[in-house]
Structure 1
Amino acid sequence: MESPVTNQAEALACTCAHVADERKAEQVVVLHVEPLTFVSDYFVIATGLNERQIAAIATQVRQRAARLGHRVIGVEGEADCGWVLIDLGDVVVHVFTKEARRLYDLELLWGEAEHVDWQGVAPIEPATP
């Protein structure tokens, strides 16, 4: 059963998590960080198995966000560096290699953040003309 979404940022974060999952990302996590930082409301963290998969996940997240009318504020990193960050304002998506995810360990760094059950929230689909 799908849970009701409390706000647009949460809906976008859950949608980004679904997009990463559709691209076979592993260990997809959504953290509600808004009570802990002013930087963003939600972090989406995902692991890609190789550079090509990381690039594909990042591309699909950017494309879905754009189709939904969200502006991509910035993209940092490259797939060959092990970490791509996509800044959507209220949502920041991090796509890591396994090694980079272990190194930066954002889940530990933001350990007080609430984990969001993104699988229980339907992804936002672009409107069809």
Structure 2
Amino acid sequence: MDETRQWTAEAARAAAGKKGEETVVLDVGDLFGITDAFVITSASNVRLVRTIVEEVDRRVKAVGGPAPYRVEGTDDARWVLMDYGDFVVHVFLEEARRYYDLERLWADAPRLEWDEHDGRAVATRP
């Protein structure tokens, strides 16, 4: 999980660095056996969604992380899902994020606090 936390923190920093808004990391591993963490962020327009997706991919690879197994939603870019196996990155348009409200759906998941300048991610209760 240490590498996964490093990669999720880097994905969160990458999103925030490209104007991703309200970027959060949820530790869903105990609630959802398929993956360990969700990175959730939003953008104000489609072009910015695509920019964030490209930056997340570049930065995760730059710290030794994997390439995503699959990326879905890039055509309309309202909700792009990047599946890295151990973690999943969700990049939403603001209105799509409000509609799907993953934070409410996964409200029992601890948030992983990530530092904008540091590779550490620490679990906290919501």
TM-score (ref. length: structure 1) = 0.85
Alignment of 1:19 onto 2:14: yes
Q: SS of the residue aligned with 1:11?
A: helix
Match of 1:60 among 55, 66, 70: 55
Q: Which runs of 5+ in 2 are unaligned?
A: 121-126
Q: Percent same amino acid at aligned positions?
A: 39
Query: What does 1:73-112 align with in structure 2 at a 5 Å threshold?
Result: 73-78=69-74, 80-112=76-108
Q: SS of the residue aligned with 1:117?
A: strand
Aligned length in residues: 119
Greater share of strand: 2
Query: Counterpart of 1:101 in structure 2: which amino acid?
Result: R
Following superposition, which runs of at least 4 residues in structure 1 exceed 6 angstroms of deviation? Answer: none
In the TM superposition, residue 121 of structure 1 has moved relative to its aligned partner by 6.6
Aligned CA RMSD, in angstroms, stands at: 1.8
Q: Which runs of 5+ in 1 are unaligned?
A: 1-5, 125-129
CA contact (8 A) 1:66 1:72 kept: no
TM-score (ref. length: structure 2) = 0.87
In the TM superposition, residue 81 of structure 1 has moved relative to its aligned partner by 4.0
